[in-house]
Amino acid sequence: MTVHERPYGRYFEDFEVGDVYRHWPGKTITEADDHLFCLLTMNHHPLHIDNYYAEQSQFGRNIVAGPVVYSVVFGMSIPDVSGKAIANLETEQLLHRAPTFHGDTIYAESKVLGKVESKSKSDRGIVTVETRGFNQRGEEVCYYRRKVLVPKEAAVKPFERPYTSPVGD
């Protein structure tokens, strides 16, 4: 019998400049997702929560709040990019390239742009990635770059589960 652990995140050594990670699965953003986020963050702009108002806008219908789209795309990238991160150091050049509508499904991918070892601590390094979000029509709806502080593998203590598995190790 083989026990499979699902990898979550990567160590500094795992990143190679030019590599692309296609994040999976996609996420359909519902009206409820958008409204909950807007209400939690006190974003009461009628373009997001008022159908009648939105119908009269240039879009002709509600659009999803930009921070919702960014958050979904960011979340999709975590298992591949920052699941082992010590810290997210910087997000730069956040661009919303096209509107996202209720019912759109978002997919994302990240490309490694650079990596540099830490100058102050030898057990980590900084990885720079660009991440793009696309809708089901293939339109790019979100783009950003970020820098992530990632540990080297030798510096991380292996994860220990808080139980003994009845199927063995």
Summarised one tens digit per residue, pLDDT across range 47-56 is 999 999 999 9
Task: Report the percent of the chain where pLDDT is more than 70.
Answer: 99
Identify whether 169 is part of a domain: no
Strand, coil or helix: 78? helix
Please state the domain count of the chain. Answer: 1
**Is residue 11 a contact partner of residue 151, using CB atoms and an 8 Å limit?**
yes
* Tokens read off for 18: 């030019």
Contacts of 137 (CB under 8 A, 6+ apart): none
Q: What range defines the domain where residue 71 resides? A: 12-155
Identify whether 160 is part of a domain: no
Identify whether 166 is part of a domain: no
Identify whether 164 is part of a domain: no
Identify whether 161 is part of a domain: no
User: CB 158: neighbour CB atoms within 10 A?
Assistant: 6
For residues 130 and 169, what is the distance between their CA atoms, to the nearest angstrom?
Answer: 37
* Tokens read off for 168: 């063995």
| pTM for this prediction | 0.92
Identify whether 73 is part of a domain: yes
Q: Which residue has the higher pLDDT, 6 or 15?
A: 15
pLDDT at 95: 97
CATH label of the domain that carries residue 77: 3.10.129.10
For residue 3, pLDDT beyond 90: no
Identify whether 168 is part of a domain: no
Name the pLDDT band for 169 (thresholds 50, 70, 90).
low
Summarised one tens digit per residue, pLDDT across range 55-107 is 999 999 999 999 999 999 999 999 999 999 999 999 999 999 999 999 999 99
Identify whether 108 is part of a domain: yes
The number of residues in the chain equals: 169
